[in-house]
Structure 1
Amino acid sequence: MWHQAELTLRPRPRGFHLITDEVVGAVAELREVRVGLAHLFLRHTSASLTLNENASPDVRRDFREWFDRAVPDDTGYFAHTLEGPDDMPSHIKSSLTGNDLTLPIRDGRLAVGTWQGVYLCEHRDHGGPRSLLVTVWGE
């Protein structure tokens, strides 16, 4: 079985946002797969995806703190600033985490760890809606 769906994720502020339930809820075909894979591909260069701890909100805050300190806005040494001071820093942050995930499916569910969740990492102050292409394959 193969299925592909494009989701439009609502605009979110800069930060790290759990989207696991949103993705699973939007792709009903995932529940039909006994064993397979789900590939999530974010069609943007200023936001990214990651899989990480899903329980403590401190994790999301700490992620943002680290990324914003590691790659600060408006430093004066970036040439690519057409869309503002968060333009180039958002591209670098996106490259650090990546724009896709491949996750196992078992018995109609994402087979991730108990404390793991899928994050949309929004690196822009006003990134807008984000397009996520989800491809499910398996039996």
Structure 2
Amino acid sequence: MTNDRLNLIYDKTHGYCHLCHKKLAFINYGIYGAKGAWHIEHSKAKANGGTDHLNNLYAACIACNLEKGVLHTMTIRRRNNVTSAPLNKVKKDKIRSNNSVGGGFIGFIISAALGGPPLAIAACALIGAKIGYDNPVKK
């Protein structure tokens, strides 16, 4: 496995286990017992017809990967109270950007509806944008 391919798989979930969301350490790939140790995990197990295609490969902590075996990914995520894989940095930033625009607009509308002075309206819009940015919602 090349370092470039490992990086692509690790970065898909921003360095978190896609099954339990535990933080992983890139340098501890395959080192059982090390903090943040991880394996490449086949979302659809090879025994169930899964492939080595990049869209089927995810980073998973060793404990989750061994527990999963040939089970369905959603089965293990449910056990860990997780509903989806962590988002990578690019997707998080896009959602934050979209949320800040929406939050700013909502802040502006509320403040204007309450008849606030222009400075208060602008302040509410900025606060709404900040709240939207700091609280990304997965889409």
TM range (shorter): under 0.3
Q: What's the TM-score, normalizing by structure 2?
A: 0.24
Q: Which has the higher contact order (CA 8 A, sep 6+)?
A: 1
Compare the two structures and name the one with the higher helix fraction: 2
Compare the two structures and name the one with the higher strand fraction: 1
